[in-house]
Amino acid sequence: MKLSGVLFFPVTPFDAGGGLAEEVLAEHISQRMEHGPGAVFAACGTGEFSALSEAEHARVVRVAAEAVGGRAPVFAGAGGPLGAALNQARAARDAGADGLLLMPPYLAQGPGHGYTAYVSAIASVLPVVIYQRGTVALEPDTVVELAGIPGVIGLKDGLGDIDRMQRTVLAVRERFPEFLFFNGLPTAELTMPAYRGIGVELYSSAVFAFAPEIATAYLNGEERLLTEFYAPLVRLRGKVPGYPVALVKAGVRLRGLDVGGVRPPLVDVTGEHLEELEALIKTGLERAAS
């Protein structure tokens, strides 16, 4: 599977009662499809994967697949306990997903061959992109081994260890040249110059969810956005734990679509920070249009 362009991670909208707002989700994805994302990753981190029930997860993926309508690959989040991850994978397959973004297992840590068995079981259902972050910090030889498992097609890096990633990219591409790598750090655009330097061109864009014009302008070479939009956004993001998701959802609301708030333990953006975000979006849109 080949991916290109910006990777879109939609938010999961909730209604006033806290339930899943399926029609709003469909509208959110349909609007962003007009900007040509390379793939859509539904019910993943930005989509509050950890806050969804299995039933909600399955509905989110089905709505996403229907809204995308075959215009781009659709990936679904999966992970946690093996049984839950397998249920999510099978439901995603039945809902029309093309692949999975595999989150780190919940709390339990075993030796390397234990994680390999975990990945292999889930990859037997749908193609898997492994998410490296938290408890999953893989050495290059381990990624080579995982890349040899049928159905394992890529690695999303959420660690930001450029030395480790350079060694991993070199080792894996020597044997599996089509294997996918992408930058999965929050506000990935800020670190893309470093990732491009080691041969990683793909990245997940949280900004695409609320300001696709800005994300697309950056992809097309508007480097001034790094200093005028992305760096200030990262400073704002660092003020409160959980803001990598809450800011995105607030940004979608500011752009006119009521996707509701975030679920606990995340918290919504404060009024002061919402004003900062609104000003940043205005600046970013002005630069993107110039």
Q: 3-class SS at 271?
A: helix
The two structure tokens encoding residue 177: 């040249």
In whole angstroms, give the CA distance from residue 11 to residue 211.
Answer: 13
Say if residues 76 and 45 touch (Cβ distance below 8 Å).
Answer: no
46 is in an annotated binding site: yes
| Annotated catalytic residue, options 156, 203, 230, 243 | 156
Whether residue 282 lies in the annotated active site:
no
In whole angstroms, give the CA distance from residue 139 to residue 146.
Answer: 11
Whether residue 106 lies in the annotated active site:
no
| Annotated catalytic residue, options 131, 218, 230, 243 | 131
In whole angstroms, give the CA distance from residue 223 to residue 272.
Answer: 28
Query: Using alpha carbons only, what angle is made at residue 56 by residues 52 and 57, rounded to the nearest 5 degrees?
Result: 70
What is the secondary structure of 174-203 as a DSSP string? HH-TT-EEEE-STTGGGGHHHHHHTT--EE
What is the secondary structure of 228-262 as a DSSP string? IIIHHHHHHHTTSTTHHHHHHHHHHHHTT-----P
Annotated binding site for pyruvate: 46
Which residues are catalytically annotated?
Answer: 131, 156
Annotated binding site: 46
